[in-house]
């Protein structure tokens, strides 16, 4: 107990005299005849709590029930009138306590048990306090009084009473017990006060503290931090309650840096260890390449040749600058150079590697090197590149350049003695003819035309046209032309030829253009036979839903892709805008579902119009299925309701395993809902990021095949998606990918990736074909471009296309023929397909049926995916119709087959 006993049991230790003051005060009130020193208190100080026995109180030695000797003060003058018998203590020091407790143990005789006249008998006595004057503390009664019988049986019937006194204002006080005619034996008087004892808590010492005088008062005590410790944030504090308990700790002390807490004290860190932060728990071993040579280290110092920057955490190893980049290669495209390299062998132990490019022009006739001027552009920039590639544009044609590639990291600046390590690349630019166009095609001739190179190095003297039959490149023919067009004759009918053109100036020949594939016309008989076959197949397999209008075809597309000819009867998408009443459109294509068939179980995301939830759908007579529920939040406008249901009017027209299936709509009750099949794995971009590197190439190609198949269906229906991106593809539990997010301009308004273009309207720049950005030419061919970006997203497991480049830089770079490099470990065949999707000339891009056809071929023949994209192929363009012919037969068959299935 946190109580300090001032005086304890009445014991007959020493006989002495009351101190002078007391005696003086007693002399005229009583004549003491016995004075006792009471117990020592528990701190060893003798406290002269002495009882002065006066007038009829007697000091009597007795034994208790167990025959142990006890010492009592007794008075028992119950038979006489007018009793007033006093028993005094001497001066009791409070030791600063403002509230003290008195515990009395006594026995008291039951007046009724006294024989004879008990007229004056009392069963109480008074306790009196004297500081500067007498104050009656209380009248003390017995809980249990004893009788004659108890005396005979030697039963003590001891009473214990505790009273507290306070607030006390003096250094000490007297106690007195006044008997007015009772029969009392006072067995013990204990005087004590409570205190909060000395305490060490959280490395802070709190001194022995005396509580306040008021009940429920808390005394705030500020602790003192133990050696080698400091207050953390604020000085530690505790509160001492009147009950002598420490309460409400606030703040704490922690060991100083260089020390750690062990068994409630701060011990110095050993050599080789350090502690830098007040918050860190203990001393830690110095991180690699650093040392602490003395005890009590607050930081470790770096070994020679190793460094640290301020922002490096103290537990990070000391690091050094990286070595030079490796495997640097260049790919010249006319006056642009694509530089690519691998990360350095030695990263210096840091992750913040950046690359700087130094560009120098080699002056003719050995006149040395000159820094490239400000006109040369670097995409995304020249210094502090985080990726291992850069596009350098606007170089001079037919000029030698020397590029120095340097890798730096956070400590490169500090490592002044560390020699800079570069890798150098020498490059010669050229200026080639960029596009070769096909004019009139005969069965043995093809008319070609091309544009003059932009910045030829001098006047163009002539052009060379190189051509050969496809896959027969061991022998080729070169013909010359002074003009930018010519008719190549003497070709075989119905054969594919490769053409390349280059210009000659007085400085010599430029580089050949990339390869262009063109086909000569078939003999009339073959043409007729094919057309007949197509028409017959179309008529034979035409469907019942021939009431739908035929999708409008780009005339160019029709001309270039024979297999894409639409057969009558292929179902076509109907723009809901053609309906005057949007509600009619919704109910034409979407089933109304009673809200009681749906239970919403949980929220899976947030859409533009409200929450997306999931739960079971139980339609009468059908098995229960899990569905996704898009809700329209309350307080919508009529326009928002129309826009929201717009998507359902579109989705409801589709029926394909790779298009998200609409189950129905709830429009008759609120909230309005769109119910679709549930896709367990959510959107493709998040799914890929979550599962980085987890799938086989075949699984990835399978996903891409699914998306392409869904897109083929949409383009066959004449529907242009405009916002095809991995975030708008959903993945189910079997990894089946389905195209989602339909609607016209609305889709783009919702897409956080969509940005306003200079021509107005929102466009997801990174996913959109240049012609759609430039003049809003959205076609299935622009969807193909987006599909190429989706391929790139998939093969790089959800990487952001063009990384952190700004939208403006992306537009510029794409216009300048920059294309995303092949993702890591991407099969070459897939990268070629991406590059085809990104042909600037939209008619050169493959069609979705060609894409599906190619992907099927790759899946059937997985060894074709073994060859991974290699840096030298990463930036090569390729003619769009490279695999057109391979697929023609298959496509004709598929178109017929699909049409038949739709019947």
Task: Tell the smallest beta-carbon distance from residue 741 to ligand ACK (Å).
Answer: 8
Cα–Cα distances (Å) from 525 to 443, 534, 600, in that order, read 12, 14, 63
Q: Which positions from 227 to 266 touch ligand ACK by CB under 6 A, shown as an x/- string?
A: ----------------------------------------
628 binds ligand ACK (CB under 6 A): yes
- In terms of CB distance, is 4 or 629 closer to ligand ACK? 629
Binding status of residue 736 toward ligand ACK by CB under 6 A: no
The answer to the question of residue 612 lying near ligand ACK (CB under 6 A) is: yes
Question: Looking up tokens 């308990």, which residue turns up?
Answer: 245
Q: What is the DSSP string of 108-149?
A: EB-GGGSSS--TT-BSEEEEEEESSSEEEEEEEE-SS-B-HH
Least Å distance between CB 800 and ligand ACK? 15
Which residue lies nearer to ligand ACK by CB, 183 or 613? Answer: 613
- For residue 766, the minimal CB distance to ligand ACK (Å) is 18
Establish whether 605 is an annotated binding residue.
yes
Out of 679, 830, 853, 854, which residue is the one contacting ligand ACK (CB under 6 A)? 679
Residue 630 marked ligand-binding? yes
Q: CB of 677: closest distance to ligand ACK in angstroms?
A: 6
CB of 739 closer than 8 Å to CB of 728: yes
Helix (H, G, I), strand (E, B) or coil at 482: coil
Q: Does 93 bind ligand ACK (CB under 6 A)?
A: no
The reply on whether position 730 binds ligand ACK by CB under 6 A is yes
Integer-rounded Cα radius of gyration of the chain: 50
- Which residue among 8, 643, 723, 836 is the active-site one? 723
CB of 680 to ligand ACK, least distance (A): 7
Beta-sheet strands, E only, within 183-325 = 183-194, 199-201, 204-206, 219-222, 224-225, 229-240, 246-255, 259-262, 265-268, 273-274, 284-285, 290-291, 301-302
Binding to ligand ACK by residue 631, rule CB under 6 A? no
User: Strands, E, within 595-661: which ranges?
Assistant: 602-606, 611-617, 625-631
- Taking the least distance from each CB to ligand ACK, the nearer of 442 and 605 is 605
Please state, as a whole number, how many other Cβ atoms lie within 10 Å of the Cβ of residue 106: 22
Cβ-proximal residues to 307 (8 Å cutoff; 6+ apart), any chain = 318, 319, 320, 411, 414, 415
In the complex, the smallest distance separating the C-beta of residue 689 from ligand ACK, rounded to whole angstroms, is 10
**Three-state SS sequence of 502-526:** EEEECCEECCCCCCEEEECCCCHHH
Which residue, 185 or 628, has its beta carbon nearer to ligand ACK?
628
Residue 658 lies near ligand ACK (rule: CB under 6 A): no
The pair of three-digit structure tokens given for residue 562, joined into one six-digit string: 């024979």
Of 609, 678, 818, 838, the one binding ligand ACK (CB under 6 A) is 678
Does 95 belong to an annotated binding site? no
Q: Is 346 annotated as a binding residue?
A: no
The region of 312-320, 674-682, 841-849, 855-863 touching ligand ACK under the rule CB under 6 A is 674-682
Query: HSE of 64 in the Cβ direction (CA atoms, 13 Å)?
Result: 14
- Least distance to ligand ACK from the beta carbon of 608, Å? 9
- The answer for residues whose C-beta is within 8 angstroms of residue 863's C-beta and 6 or more apart is none
Contact 130, 177 (CB under 8 A): no
Judged by CB under 6 A, which of 605, 657, 733, 862 binds ligand ACK? 605
Concerning whether 723 is annotated as a catalytic residue, the answer is yes
Contact between 108 and 146 under an 8 Å Cβ cutoff? The reply is: yes
Nearer to ligand ACK, 678 or 848 (CB): 678
Taking CB positions, which residue lies at the least distance from ligand ACK? 605
CB 338 within 8 A of CB 875: yes
Residue 272 assigned as binding residue: no
CB nearer to ligand ACK: give 679 or 830: 679
177 is in an annotated binding site: no
Was 105 annotated as part of a binding site? Answer: no
Grouping H, G, I as helix, E, B as strand and the rest as coil, residue 532 is helix
How far lies 96's CA from each of 170, 172, 194, 246, 622, in Å? 9, 9, 11, 18, 87
- Residue 635 annotated as part of some ligand binding site: no
Stretch that binds ligand ACK, among 80-88, 306-314, 427-435, 598-606 (CB under 6 A): 598-606
User: What is the chain's percent helix, strand, coil content, to nearest 5?
Assistant: 20, 30, 45
In angstroms, give the least distance from the CB of 606 to ligand ACK: 6
- Of 518 and 678, CB closest to ligand ACK: 678
Distance, in Å, from the CA atom of 735 to the CA atom of 627, rounded to the nearest integer, reads 17
Site for ligand ACK in 485-544 (CB under 6 A): none
Half-sphere exposure in the Cβ direction for 548 (13 Å, CA) = 21
Give the shortest CB-626-to-ligand ACK separation in angstroms.
9
83-91, 162-170, 675-683, 884-892 -> range binding ligand ACK (CB under 6 A): 675-683
> Is there a binding annotation on residue 610?
yes
- Distance between CA 612 and CA 630 in Å, rounded? 4
Number of residues that bind ligand ACK (CB under 6 A): 14
Distance CA 854, CA 834 (A): 12
Interface characters, 751-780, with ligand ACK (x: CB under 6 A): ------------------------------
List 676, 728, 839, 879, residue binding ligand ACK (CB under 6 A):
676
Cα 499 to Cα 844: distance, rounded to the nearest angstrom: 15
Residue 807: HSE in the Cβ half-sphere, 13 Å Cα cutoff: 15
Which residue from 188, 519, 667, 683 is in contact with ligand ACK, where contact means CB under 6 A? 683
> In angstroms, rounded to a whole number, what is the distance separating the alpha carbons of residues 299 and 282?
13
3-state secondary structure of 101: strand
467 or 797: CB nearest ligand ACK: 797
Among 235, 251, 682, 702, binds ligand ACK (CB under 6 A): 682
90 and 35 Cβ atoms separated by less than 8 Å: yes
604 near ligand ACK (CB under 6 A): yes
- Among 11, 113, 686, 902, which residue sits at the site for ligand ACK (rule: CB under 6 A)? 686
616: contact with ligand ACK by CB under 6 A: no
**How near is the Cβ of 628 to ligand ACK at its closest, in Å?**
3
589 marked among binding-site residues: no
Sequence ranges of the binding site for ATP: 604-612, 630
Q: Which residues bind ligand ACK (CB under 6 A)?
A: 604-607, 612, 628, 660, 676, 678-679, 682-683, 686, 730
Residues serving a catalytic function are 723
């Amino acid at each position: 107990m946190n109580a300090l006993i001032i005086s304890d049991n009445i014991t007959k230790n020493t006989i002495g005299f009351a101190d002078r003051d007391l005696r003086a005060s007693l002399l005229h009130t009583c004549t003491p005849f016995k004075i006792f020193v009471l117990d020592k208190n528990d701190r060893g100080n003798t406290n002269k709590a002495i009882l002065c026995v006066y007038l009829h109180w007697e000091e009597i030695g007795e034994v208790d029930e167990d025959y142990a000797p006890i010492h009592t003060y007794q008075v028992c003058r119950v038979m006489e009138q007018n009793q007033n018998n006093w028993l005094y203590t001497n001066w009791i020091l409070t030791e600063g306590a403002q509230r003290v407790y008195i515990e009395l143990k006594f026995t008291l005789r039951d007046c009724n048990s006294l024989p004879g006249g008990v007229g004056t008998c009392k069963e109480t006595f008074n306790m009196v306090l004297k500081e500067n004057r007498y104050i009656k503390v209380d009248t003390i009664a017995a809980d249990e009084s004893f009788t004659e019988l108890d005396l005979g049986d030697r039963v003590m019937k001891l009473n214990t009473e505790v009273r507290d006194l306070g607030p006390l204002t003096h250094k000490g006080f007297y106690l007195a017990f006044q008997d007015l005619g009772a029969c009392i034996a006072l067995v013990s008087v204990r005087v004590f006060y409570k205190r909060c004892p000395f305490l060490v808590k959280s490395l802070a010492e709190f001194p022995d503290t005396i509580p306040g005088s008021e009940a429920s008062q808390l005394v705030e005590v500020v602790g003192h931090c133990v050696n080698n410790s400091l207050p953390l944030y604020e000085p530690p504090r505790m509160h001492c309650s009147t009950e002598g308990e420490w309460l409400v700790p606030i703040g704490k002390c922690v060991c100083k840096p260089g020390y750690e807490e062990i068994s409630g004290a701060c011990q110095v860190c050993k050599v080789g260890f350090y502690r830098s932060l007040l918050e860190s728990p203990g001393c830690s071993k110095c991180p690699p390449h650093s040392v602490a040579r003395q005890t009590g280290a607050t930081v470790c110092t770096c070994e020679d040749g190793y460094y640290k920057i301020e922002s490096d955490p103290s537990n990070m190893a000391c690091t050094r600058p990286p070595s030079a980049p490796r495997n640097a290669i260049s790919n010249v495209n006319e006056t642009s150079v694509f530089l690519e390299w691998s990360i350095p062998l030695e990263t210096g132990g840091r992750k913040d590697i950046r690359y700087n490019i130094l560009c120098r022009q080699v002056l003719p006739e050995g006149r040395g090197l000159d820094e490239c001027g400000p006109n040369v552009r670097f995409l995304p920039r020249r210094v502090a590149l985080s990726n291992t590639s850069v596009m350098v544009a606007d170089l001079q044609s037919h000029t030698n350049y020397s590029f120095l590639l340097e890798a730096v990291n956070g400590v490169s600046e500090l490592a002044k003695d560390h020699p800079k390590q570069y890798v150098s690349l020498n490059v010669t630019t050229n200026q080639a003819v960029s596009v070769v166009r096909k004019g009139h095609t005969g069965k043995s001739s093809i008319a070609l035309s091309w544009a003059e190179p932009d910045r030829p190095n001098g006047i163009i003297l002539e052009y060379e046209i190189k051509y050969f039959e496809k896959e027969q490149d061991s022998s080729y023919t070169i013909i010359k032309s002074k003009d930018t067009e010519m008719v190549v004759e003497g070709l075989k009918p119905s054969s594919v030829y490769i053409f390349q053109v280059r210009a000659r100036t007085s400085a010599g020949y430029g580089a050949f253009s990339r390869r262009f594939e063109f086909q000569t016309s078939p003999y009339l008989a073959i043409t007729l036979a094919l057309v007949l076959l197509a028409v017959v197949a179309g008529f034979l397999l035409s469907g019942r839903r021939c009431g739908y209008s035929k999708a409008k075809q780009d005339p160019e597309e029709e001309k270039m892709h024979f297999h894409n000819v639409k057969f009558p009867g292929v179902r076509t998408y109907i723009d809901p805008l053609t309906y005057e009443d949007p509600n009619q459109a919704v109910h034409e294509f979407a089933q109304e579902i009673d809200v009681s068939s749906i239970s919403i179980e949980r929220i899976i995301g947030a859409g533009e119009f409200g929450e997306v939830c999931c739960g079971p759908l139980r339609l009468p007579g059908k098995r229960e299925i899990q569905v996704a529920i898009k809700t329209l939040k309350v307080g919508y406008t009529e326009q928002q309701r129309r826009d929201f249901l717009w998507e359902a009017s579109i989705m409801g027209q589709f029926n394909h395993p790779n298009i998200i299936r609409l189950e129905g709509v709830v429009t008759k009750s609120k909230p309005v809902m769109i119910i679709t099949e549930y896709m367990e794995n959510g959107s493709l971009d998040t799914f890929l990021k979550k599962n980085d590197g987890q799938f086989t190439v075949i699984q990835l190609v399978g996903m891409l095949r699914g998306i392409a198949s869904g897109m083929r269906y949409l383009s066959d229906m004449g529907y242009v998606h405009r916002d095809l991106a991995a975030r708008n593809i959903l993945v189910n539990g079997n990894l089946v990918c389905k195209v989602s997010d339909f609607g016209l301009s609305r889709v783009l308004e919702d897409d956080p990736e969509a940005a306003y273009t200079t021509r107005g309207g929102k466009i997801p720049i990174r996913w959109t074909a240049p012609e759609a950005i430039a003049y809003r030419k959205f076609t299935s061919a622009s969807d193909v471009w987006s599909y190429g970006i989706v391929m790139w997203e998939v093969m790089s497991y959800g990487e952001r296309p063009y990384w952190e480049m700004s939208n403006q830089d992306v537009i510029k770079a794409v216009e300048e023929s920059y294309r995303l490099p092949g993702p890591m470990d991407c099969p070459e065949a897939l990268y070629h397909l991406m590059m085809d999707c990104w042909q600037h000339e939209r008619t050169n891009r493959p069609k979705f049926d060609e894409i599906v056809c190619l992907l099927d071929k790759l899946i059937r023949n997985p060894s074709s995916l073994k060859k991974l994209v290699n840096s030298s192929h990463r930036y090569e363009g390729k003619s769009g119709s490279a695999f057109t012919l391979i697929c023609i037969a298959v496509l004709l068959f598929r178109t017929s087959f699909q049409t038949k299935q739709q019947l």
